[in-house]
């Protein structure tokens, strides 16, 4: 077999090869859904994205001879390291043929790049941070992913573990019939009703006439509510603006909820339609007519991803998360939704997991995040130097 070589993505030809590898690896996989390619180009750094105003990233390709067999993105997220006071580097967008030598060479190259920038631990996969797509699918390969949930080959887990990565955190997706969700456990219903009485809380959907303002309210609550969450980093103002622009075309106001106390927003939740059936049909291409299919076809979608029900820290553990989420359920039924998915939920978030499970939802997919110490290069599970030529 030819030698494996790794090198940084340096030009448009390399960028095209980076993206095309994903298409080639999954072209016969019935559960794979292509990404929105324009968004993918931004998140890997091929087009401008505000995430990289406070982060460094470098994409790499692995080739065996002239054939691209693997890819990865290495990231130093300065916001993460300031927030958590550590030196964790990240990897993401990992794709590889079932070739351990290629995977080892590729991950070695990414780890070297992170180590050269002072990082002491590598973590991933994240695409490119926990505010976007995250985790390696390790259980639940029998069905397609929902919108913005990652999907990968089953053998990736062994490739990554064989290199020396170990589990750091699992994240779960839960599924339930909308009919089940409309009949809350009596204890949960009591908690919700008592919370509404105690705080005189009211709820409303995002306003079409003040859409951008309300989306920013949601993202502000999102930032504040997750401060104590494992691995979380607040989105920058520029990222909030970027997200607001994208969500404007995807959110259905009736499937959102903002909880207020005395006119002050204290909680926000939203359901995001599973656009993946449409994205598959348009091949991940929004232009020239993909957006039209996305907008005109959404009334036929039957699956809703309940992304979050976030509450300001001072009001957490008082049942306001249930208050925030509850109005979305009848609105979903009116819209024609039949299945709701809660995703993703951190393993360490015992409160949310317990509430979701008591509501009757079933765990359907598990994604995993891995860590690996960036020790001395000599202990880095390298291939023999005569077999691998790694450059960055």
Which one of 117-126, 233-242, 357-366 scores highest in mean pLDDT?
117-126
Q: What pLDDT is stored for residue 34 in this prediction?
A: 97
Rounded-to-integer distance, Cα 187 and Cα 193, Å: 10
pLDDT higher than threshold 70 for residue 386:
no
Give 8's pLDDT tier (boundaries 50, 70, 90): very high
Tokens of 124: 């991933």
Residue 179: pLDDT over 80: no
Over range 218-232, report the average pLDDT: 86
pLDDT higher than threshold 90 for residue 223: no
User: 181: pLDDT confidence band, cut at 50, 70 and 90?
Assistant: low
pLDDT recorded at residue 144: 97
Query: Mind listing the domains of the chain with CATH numbers?
Result: 4-172+369-390 (3.40.630.30), 175-365 (3.40.630.30)
336, 272, 225, 186: CA torsion to nearest 10: 20
The pLDDT value given to residue 244: 81
Mean pLDDT computed over 354-369: 90
- What mean pLDDT do residues 124-128 have? 97
| Digit-coded pLDDT (tens) for 240-299 | 888 888 887 888 999 999 999 999 999 998 899 999 999 999 999 999 899 999 999 999
pLDDT for residue 183:
66
- Asked if residues 146 and 364 have their Cβ atoms less than 8 Å apart, the reply is no
User: Which neighbouring-strand residues pair with 59?
Assistant: 73
Q: What is the pLDDT of residue 178?
A: 82
pLDDT for 268 = 92
In DSSP terms, 72 is beta-bridged to 60
Pairing type for strands 388-390 and 4-8 reads: parallel
Q: Mean pLDDT throughout 303-313?
A: 88
Q: Given a cut of 50, is residue 382 above it in pLDDT?
A: no
For residue 385, pLDDT over 60 is answered with: no
pLDDT of residue 184: 62
pLDDT of residue 182: 63
Share the mean pLDDT of the chain: 90
pLDDT at residue 187 in the model: 67
Per-residue burial over 66-87, b if 16 or more Cβ lie within 10 Å, else e, is eebbbbbbbbbbebbbeeeeeb
Residue 390 scores a pLDDT above 60? no
């Amino acid at each position: 077999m030819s030698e494996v070589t790794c090198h940084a993505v340096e030009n448009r030809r390399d960028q095209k090869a980076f993206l095309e590898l994903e298409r080639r690896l999954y072209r016969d996989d019935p559960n794979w859904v292509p990404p929105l390619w324009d968004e993918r180009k931004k998140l890997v750094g091929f087009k401008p994205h505000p995430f990289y105003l406070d982060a460094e990233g470098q994409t790499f390709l692995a080739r065996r001879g002239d054939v691209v067999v693997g890819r990865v993105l290495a990231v130093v997220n300065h916001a993460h390291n300031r927030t958590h006071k550590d030196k964790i580097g990240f990897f993401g967008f990992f794709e590889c043929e079932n070739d351990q030598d290629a995977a080892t060479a590729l991950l070695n190259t990414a780890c070297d790049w992170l180590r050269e920038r002072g990082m002491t631990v590598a973590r991933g996969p994240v695409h490119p941070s926990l505010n976007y797509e995250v985790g390696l699918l390790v259980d639940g390969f029998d069905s397609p992913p929902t919108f913005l949930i990652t999907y990968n080959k089953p053998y990736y887990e062994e490739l990554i573990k064989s290199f020396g990565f170990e589990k750091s955190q699992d994240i779960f997706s839960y599924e339930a019939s909308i009919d089940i969700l409309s009949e809350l456990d009596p204890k949960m219903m009591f908690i919700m009703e008592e919370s509404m009485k105690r705080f005189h809380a009211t709820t409303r959907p995002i306003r079409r006439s003040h859409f951008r303002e309300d989306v920013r309210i949601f993202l502000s609550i999102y930032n504040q509510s997750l401060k104590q969450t494992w691995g979380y980093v607040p989105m920058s103002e520029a990222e909030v603006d970027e997200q607001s622009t994208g969500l404007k075309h995807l959110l259905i106001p009736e499937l959102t909820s903002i909880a207020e106390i005395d006119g002050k927003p204290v909680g926000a939740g939203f359901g995001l339609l599973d656009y993946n059936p449409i994205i598959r049909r348009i091949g991940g291409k929004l232009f020239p007519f993909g957006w039209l299919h996305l907008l005109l076809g959404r009334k036929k979608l039957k699956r809703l991803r309940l992304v979050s029900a976030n509450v300001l820290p001072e009001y957490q553990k008082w049942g306001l998360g249930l208050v925030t989420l509850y109005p979305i359920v009848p609105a979903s039924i009116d819209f024609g939704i039949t299945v709701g998915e809660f995703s993703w939920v951190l393993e360490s978030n015992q409160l949310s997991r317990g509430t979701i499970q008591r509501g009757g939802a079933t765990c359907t997919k598990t994604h995993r995040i891995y860590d690996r110490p960036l020790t001395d290069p000599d202990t880095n599970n390298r291939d023999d130097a005569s077999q691998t030529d790694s450059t960055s």
